[in-house]
Amino acid sequence: MLGSWSQVQTQSQLMSSSNSHDRHQEEETPGPPTAFHMRQLLVTCADLISQSDYSAAKRLFSILSSNSSPYGDSTERLVHQFIRALSLRLNGHGISTSIAPAAHVFNINNMVTSRPCGTNDKMLISYESDQETLRSCYLSLNKITPFIRFCHLTANQAILETIQVGQQAIHIIDFDIMHGVQWPPLMQALAERSNNSLHPPPMLRITGTGHDLNVLHRTGDRLLKFAQSLGLRFHFHPLLLLNNDPTSLAHYLPSAITLLPDEALAVNCVSYLHRFLKDDSRELLLFLHKIKALNPKVVTVAEREANHNHPLFLQRFLEALDHYTALFDSLEATLPPNSRERLAVEQIWFGREIMDIVAAEGEGRRERHQKFETWEMMLKSVGFIKVPLSPFALSQAKLLLRLHYPSDGYQLQILNNSFFLGWQNHSLFSVSSWN
């Protein structure tokens, strides 16, 4: 894969005079532009926007848009998503463009045959309001990529290995449980472990947080039925986030959590901690201190391996281009171009993230991923100690990739007693375990 965009040529090397840019483009690239050239143009466009040279940036849009498509190869699809996000950012400065998000992007059944048409610049609001579509995309992402299942499988194994056989009760706090897809495999493992020992299966309690009480109740009902099918004693406790704000938890933990004296506590933070990050880390550190005060046996952490929290727009853009280039390349190598699930994940799930990172600013920006070193430093600063993940957990993760996502491009690494899953040589997700 190409090197990091943070190492691309300097601005002066990337850009010729904005007034003559189109002429040079025609003279230097008589054929279709290469993937590298298209990404260079994206960087140039973002650089112009960062300097408030909006008219010059707008002139690049015609080149970028004519060489992008949500139905093309991975580069064309990547450019399509980033040009939509840049267009939204320009529109926020009062600069109208002909590029706009797809009006019917939520209709997954029509995505293969229909072409996008223009709409207004309220895509971020539209995405957030269509929760059923986001749910469908999340399940598609879980099915066609290994990233969610890798995080869940590795975290579950860390919980199993930390909580001893014979433990009578287990309490898991899952921050943002969503649809609960992580927990049926753990339930099955607990039932099998009891069958292979002289100990009865433990009582399992899960406290799941979320911002929609109906979704939480449906998740709890599904998990209860599955537990009953295995003969497991199970209780589910929904914990509603106030105003869809995860940071509100930091102010009423641990009083919101009911702990019983005989329970072994596990805390699960999969793709969650980054939501506490704003312009500083005070809320996150407060939250981690409250978690530490609960005295959990294990805390599992999974996060994107990317720095999307940089205060400078251009640096954030370069990091995002790096990260999503690898993600889109992995989808290109493992799925056909007309896959409806691939289109939905690229346009809706990843498209929503890209729009947030590129077009949003200030308190409205939510996708504030940080690399593992940041999480490691913060967790250690409040007294957490890393628990090495086991060789068996590594074997399990390798088997997952081999059986479900056959491609040599996926790479697993162990660094600092933590697991990293990436595409080619680019790490994309990290999982670690703490107590």
Intervals of the chain under pLDDT 50: 1-29, 102-128
User: What pLDDT shows up at residue 242?
Assistant: 75
Domains delineated in the chain: 5-129+309-364 (no CATH), 145-305+377-434 (3.40.50.150)
The Cβ of residue 34 has, within 10 Å, a number of other Cβ atoms equal to: 11
Cα distance between residue 33 and residue 71, in whole Å: 17
pLDDT tens digits along 343-392: 999 999 999 999 999 999 888 888 999 999 999 999 999 999 999 999 99
**Do 282 and 382 contact (CB within 8 A), yes or no?**
no
- The C-alpha atoms of residue 356 and residue 161 are separated, in whole angstroms, by 37
Instruction: Please report, for the chain, how many H helices and E strands are present, in that order.
Output: 17, 8
- Show Cβ contacts of residue 140 under 8 Å, excluding neighbours closer than 6 positions: 341, 344, 345, 349
Distance (Å, whole) CA 80 – CA 20: 24
What are φ and ψ of residue 250, in 5° steps? -60, -20
| Residues whose CB falls within 8 Å of the CB of residue 238, separated by 6 or more in sequence, listed in order | 207, 208, 209, 210, 213, 216, 217, 220
- Would you say 432 and 386 are in contact if contact means Cβ atoms under 8 Å apart? yes
DSSP assignment letter at 200: P
pLDDT (0 to 100) of residue 32: 67
Q: What is the pLDDT of residue 226?
A: 98
Q: What integer pLDDT is reported at residue 257 of this predicted model?
A: 84
Cβ contact 317:309 at 8 Å = no
Distances (CA, A) of 198 to 134, 191, 193: 43, 12, 10
Contact 106, 349 (CB under 8 A): no
pTM (2 d.p.)? 0.86
Query: What whole-number distance in Å separates Cα of residue 288 and Cα of residue 245?
Result: 16
Burial of 407-427, coded b for 16+ CB within 10 Å and e otherwise, reads eebbebeeeeebbbbbbeebb
* 1-18 tens-digit pLDDT: 333 443 333 333 333 333
- The Cα 314–Cα 405 span in angstroms is 34
Pairing of strands 234-240, 410-415: unpaired
Q: What are the residues facing 263 on neighbouring strands?
A: 169
Q: Which residues contact 102 (CB under 8 A, 6 or more apart)?
A: 70, 116, 117, 119, 347
Q: How far is CA 156 from the centre of its chain?
A: 18
Cα–Cα distance measured from residue 188 to residue 194, given in angstroms and rounded to the nearest whole number: 10
Query: What's the length of the chain?
Result: 435
Nearest to 127 by CA among 100, 98, 99, 105: 105
Structure tokens at 215: 């979704």
Percentage of residues of the chain with pLDDT beyond 90:
67
What are the tokens at 281?
């880390």
Pairing of strands 426-434, 298-304: antiparallel
Tokens of 342: 């691939």
